Chain A
């Protein structure tokens, strides 16, 4: 077998030779891996801020390759999962109920508007051939990267699939079960988002005419 293609690795190589991408990637990695104390692993708000700066300022040709690179093996998929330094930006000891991060998102101006963009541009539709109401994969991917570094930061859930989710569950939602699941399924059961990521990987992300 010839050397396996690892598009996520190629994306990192490409970023390292672009001045802006290299600098802003290093900025967020440095913020996200900096240990602040024995009890606190990192400063999540600084890590999130640096991630937002990265996805806001670096052209999508680099950021999309780093985040949506298609993978056939776990080495590639694990690298893809590590893109946003999840130990700091994503995971926490307890998985909260999804309504908790959702409420804190609604209480923040940036997060609220970014989430609205995500809902709008990644709105699934069973009637559309693309799976998207807006029929625009690029807009959906851009909206997805827009919420990285917020209270509802999504990421790949494991190193074997391309399933994404924010760090939360809908267990113990009580009488708000439906509300919770409506939010969670925007990530985990969203045909538009899934198609957009898949289409990016196989180069068919051009919008239908």
Chain B
């Protein structure tokens, strides 16, 4: 099995998009502006690397019972461009690394 084959099996990990008010982000800004928020969602059950394969094997054989080792998670591998907006007190703010551009099992 090649890495490429394994990666295809994790196609559950995808980029999703939701239209939100900036206030929905819960970052404390008071504004009526809105944005597109993109996030990563889906499972990463299939090992992508030899490391992941070993972890999976050791977990099945109950060799790592005392440690909390985590398998790969569906996370952003790149972020969207920054976003500026004007708040209700007429102050501009810029959000950085707030929205996903690409996702991967990492």
Contacts and interface: CB of A to CB of B under 8 A. Distances in A.
Nearest to B95: A26
Residue picked from A22, A25, A33, A85, most chain B C-beta under 10 Å: A22
Helix, strand, loop or mixed for chain A's interface? helix
A41 interface: no
28 contacts: A9-B32, A12-B86, A13-B33, A13-B34, A16-B33, A16-B34, A16-B35, A16-B36, A16-B83, A16-B85, A17-B34, A17-B36, A22-B81, A22-B83, A23-B81, A25-B84, A26-B84, A29-B84, A29-B94, A30-B82, A30-B94, A33-B92, A33-B94, A78-B90, A79-B86, A79-B90, A82-B90, A82-B92
A16 B21 CA distance: 11
A30 B84 contact: yes
Interface residues of B, number: 15
Which of under 10, 10 to 19, 20 to 34, or 35 or more describes the interface residues of A? 10 to 19
Among B35, B83, B84, B92, which residue has the most Cβ atoms of chain A within 10 A? B84
A9 B94 contact: no
